[in-house]
Amino acid sequence: MAGWFDPRRTNIERWAYTFQRVTGLAVLAYVVAHIGDTSFFVGGPFGEGPSRASWAAGLSVTESLLGHLVLVMVVLVVVYHGINGVRLILSEYGVIFDKPSRPDYPYRAKSLRAVQRHLIWVAIVGAILAALYSGGLLLG
Least distance between another protein and beta carbon 139 (Å): 34
Q: Which stretch binds another protein (CB under 8 A): 7-15, 32-40, 50-58, 131-139?
A: 7-15
Residue 46 binds another protein (CB under 8 A): no
Provide the mask over 77-106, with x wherever binding to another protein is found by CB under 8 A and - wherever it is not.
Answer: -----------x--xxxx--x-xxxxxxx-
Nearest by Cα to 78 from 40, 26, 43: 26
Nearest by Cα to 55 from 72, 68, 39, 69: 39
Which residues of the chain form contacts with another protein (CB under 8 A)? Answer: 1-4, 7-11, 13-14, 17-18, 20-21, 88, 91-94, 97, 99-105, 107-112
